[in-house]
Amino acid sequence: MKKTVSILLIMCMFLALALTGCGQEEKAPGENAEADNSAVKVGFVYVGPASDGGWTTSHDVARKQLENNLNIDTLYKESVPEGPECEKVINDLIDQGCNVIFSTSFGFMDYTLNAAKAHPDVKFMHCSGYMTNENMGAYFGRIYQARYLSGIAAGMKTKTDKIGYVAAYEIPEVLRGINAFTLGVRSVNPDATVHVKWTHTWIDAAKAKDAAVALLAEDCDVITQHQDAPGPQIAAEEKGVWSIGYNMDMKDVAPKAYITAPVWNWGPYYEKQVKAIMDGTWKAENYWGGMEDGIVDLAPLTENAPEGAKEAIEKVKAEIIDGSFKVFSGPIKGQAGEIRVAEGETLTDEELTSMDWFVEGVVGNPKQ
Amino acid sequence: MDATISFLAAAIVAGTPLLFATLGEIITEKVGNLNLGVEGMMLMGAIIGFKTALVTHSPIIALLTSMLAGAAGALIYAVLTVSFRANQVVTGLTLTTFGTGFAGFLGQNLVGQVVPATVKSFFRPFAFPGLSKIPVLGEIFFQQDIFVYLSYLSVFIVGVYLYKTSFGLNVRAVGENPGAADVASINTTFYKYFHILLGGALCGLGGAYLSLVYIPVWQNNVTAGRGWIAVALVIFAIWNPYKAVIGSYLFGGLDIIGFRIQDTSFPVSMYFLDMLPYIVTVVILVVISFRKSKENAPPQGLGNPYFREER
Query: Which chain A positions have a beta carbon within 8 Å of B109's beta carbon?
Result: 51
Distance in angstroms (rounded) separating the CA atoms of residues A313 and A232: 23
pLDDT in tens, B106-148: 998 888 889 999 999 999 999 999 898 998 899 999 999 999 9
The answer to whether domain A24-29+36-141+265-291 has CATH 3.30.43.10 is no
| Identity of the residue in B101, B104, B259 whose CB atom sits nearest the CB atom of A211 | B259
HSE (side-chain half, CA atoms, 13 Å) at B142: 12
Q: How far is A21 from chain B (nearest CA, A)?
A: 4
Cα separation, A15 vs A11, in Å, equals 6
Distance from CA of B305 to the nearest CA of A (A): 12
HEC string of A46-77? CCCCCCCCCHHHHHHHHHHHHHHHHCCEEEEE
Question: Which is nearest to B42 in space by CA: B199, B207, B196?
Answer: B207
Smallest Cα–Cα separation from A76: which of A282, A268, A136, A61?
A61
Q: How far apart are CA B112 and CA A254, in angstroms?
A: 11
Per run of 10 residues, the mean pLDDT along chain A (length 368 residues) is 58 54 44 55 91 85 94 92 93 95 93 96 93 94 96 97 94 94 96 94 88 94 92 94 91 93 94 93 93 93 94 96 93 94 92 93 88
* pLDDT of A52: 76
pLDDT of residue A38: 61
Contact B256/A20, CB-based, under 8 Å? no
CATH number of B2-310: 1.10.3470
> Which residues, at least 6 apart from B224, have a Cβ–Cβ distance to it below 8 Å?
A201, A203, A204, A205, A206, A207
| Rounded Cα gap, residues A310 and A305, in angstroms | 8
Question: What chain A residue is nearest to B115 in terms of C-alpha separation?
Answer: A253
Cβ–Cβ contact A130 with B under 8 A: no
Q: Within the 95-124 window of chain B, which residues sit less than 8 Å (CB to CB) from chain A?
A: 95, 97-98, 100-102, 104-105, 108-109, 111-114
Helix (H) or strand (E) holding B157: helix B146-164
The residues facing A45 across adjacent strands are A77, A103
Looking at the complex, does the CB of residue A5 fall below 8 Å from at least one CB of chain B?
A: yes
Q: How far apart are CA B23 and CA B260, in angstroms?
A: 28
Q: Which residues contact B101 (CB under 8 A, 6 or more apart)?
A: A16, A17, A20, A21, A22, A23
Q: How far apart are the first and last CA of chain A?
A: 56
Q: CA A36 to CA A140: how far, in whole Å?
A: 29
What are the pLDDT tens digits along chain B (311 aa)?
788 899 999 999 999 999 999 999 999 999 999 999 999 999 999 999 999 999 999 999 999 999 999 999 999 999 999 999 999 999 999 999 999 999 999 998 888 889 999 999 999 999 999 898 998 899 999 999 999 999 999 999 999 999 999 999 999 999 999 999 999 999 999 999 999 999 999 999 999 999 999 999 998 889 988 999 999 999 889 999 999 999 999 999 988 888 888 766 667 777 888 788 778 878 888 887 787 777 778 899 898 888 887 75
Kind and range of the H or E element at B39? helix B38-56
Where do the domains of chain A lie?
24-29+36-141+265-291, 143-261+299-363
**Interchain CB contact of A33 with B (< 8 Å):** no
Helices (H), B209-269: 226-236, 241-261
Could you report the predicted ipTM of this complex, rounded to two decimals?
Answer: 0.88
Using the beta-carbon criterion (under 8 Å), do B10 and A213 form an inter-chain contact?
yes
pLDDT at A30: 43
B-chain residue closest to A199, CA distance: B259
| CATH numeric code, A143-261+299-363 | 3.40.50.2300
Query: What stretch of H or E contains A209?
Result: helix A205-217
In which element (H, E) is residue A358 found?
A: none
Which residue among A6, A57, A206 places its CB closest to the CB of B224?
A206
